Amino acid sequence: MIVAAAQAEVVERSTPMSGATELVVHHPPSASAVQPGQFFQLAVGAPHTILRRPYSAAWADPISGRLGFIFNVVGAGSAWLANLPEGHDVDLLGPLGRGFELDGRDPAIVVAGGLGVAVFPGVVRALVARGRRVTVLLGARSVAQLMRSDRFAGAEVKVATDDGSAGHHGSVVDLLLDQVGGLDIFGCGPTPMLQALMRAARRLDIPLSSIQVALETPMGCGIGTCLGCAAPGRAGGYLLTCQDGPCLRADRIDWDHMTDAFHG
């Protein structure tokens, strides 16, 4: 597949939850092409930021030609993006990588930790559109950092916060204990949260093959040439997040050797 960079106009900027920015851009070809879970490489104009920055499409609407990106400011690139005014263009490369496999019969459980929730509005919309029963388990440090549950229309939403300010007081992974039966799990969040999800799945006899994760590793090119995004594979060797993922079956990953490059 040939992927070309394109200019997309920023048409809306908002704050979906405390500390996060949602940029809505207008680019009909991207909004039609992107699959839930795929990402784009966004060019940033901040000084000394040579590489594009990878961001999942939070959602896309082929009819309006719009798509959204939800992110927090962690460095120069995201700060530059968060300050892009409406009417300006952003340079998109994508859609890139593999999205989630959305078809299936088992109830779908979405497990989102922190900003990992950014990939899920469009995923949940697509699952609900397929007539699937969907439960969204949302975890954040406190109530202010939780995405509004109306972003997941048609799904049941349960929340957990580290400080107990809303829902379960503790990890979002604890909410999995209430779920019974055959499950189709979709996870995204910091590596320690995903590792906790794998430990919980093993305790509950949930096969890791029934869990798909959206990985966020460091990235250089986003198109399979720099090897910067390598993640350890369970069968040995490495998987490239930008080519084999970012959405991958959890049994393909060597969780014991996944490092948390970003979250300390």
CB of 219 vs ligand FES, minimal distance in Å: 4
Which of ligand FAD, ligand FES, none does 55 bind, CB closer than 5 to 8 A by kind? ligand FAD
Pick what 56 binds: ligand FAD, ligand FES, none; C-beta below 5 to 8 Å, kind-dependent: ligand FAD
In whole angstroms, the minimum distance from the beta carbon of 95 to ligand FES comes to 15
Cβ neighbours, 10 Å, residue 79? 14
Nearer to ligand FES, 200 or 221 (CB): 221
Helix H or strand E segment including 164: none
List interacting residues with ligand FAD (CB under 6 A): 39, 49, 53-56, 70-72, 74-78, 115, 118-119, 216-219, 241, 246, 261-262
Decide whether 138 or 183 has the Cβ nearer to ligand FAD: 138
Task: Output 75 or 164, the one with its CB closest to ligand FAD.
Answer: 75
- The alpha-helical segments, DSSP class H, found in the chain are 28-33, 76-82, 120-129, 191-203
What does 77 interact with, of ligand FES, ligand FAD, none (CB < 5 to 8 A by kind)? ligand FAD
* Amino acid sitting at position 177: L
**Please, are residues 263 and 192 in contact by the beta-carbon 8 Å criterion?**
yes
Answer yes or no: are the C-beta atoms of 212 and 248 closer than 8 Å. yes
> CB-wise, 107 or 246, nearer to ligand FAD?
246
- Comparing CB distances to ligand FES, the nearer of 143 and 221 is 221
Place of tokens 């995201």: 78
Residue 20 β-bridge partners:
72
224 binds, among ligand FAD, ligand FES, none (CB under 5 to 8 A by kind): ligand FES
DSSP string over 14-52? E-SSTTEEEEEEE-HHHHHHPPTT-EEEEP--STT--S-
Indicate the Cα dihedral angle 188, 193, 194, 197, nearest 10°.
-110
The nearest distance, CB 191 to ligand FAD, in angstroms, is 10
CB of 246 to ligand FAD, least distance (A): 4
What is the nearest approach in angstroms of ligand FAD to the Cβ of residue 70?
Answer: 6
Whether the CB-CB separation of 172 and 139 falls below 8 Å is answered with yes
Q: Is 254:237 a contact under the CB 8 Å cutoff?
A: no
What residue 226 binds from ligand FES, ligand FAD, none (CB within 5 to 8 A, per partner kind)? Answer: ligand FES
User: Measured from the CB of residue 205, what is the shortest distance to ligand FAD in angstroms?
Assistant: 30
* Residues at the interface with ligand FES (CB under 6 A): 219-222, 224-229, 240, 242
- The two tokens of residue 47 are 């000084």
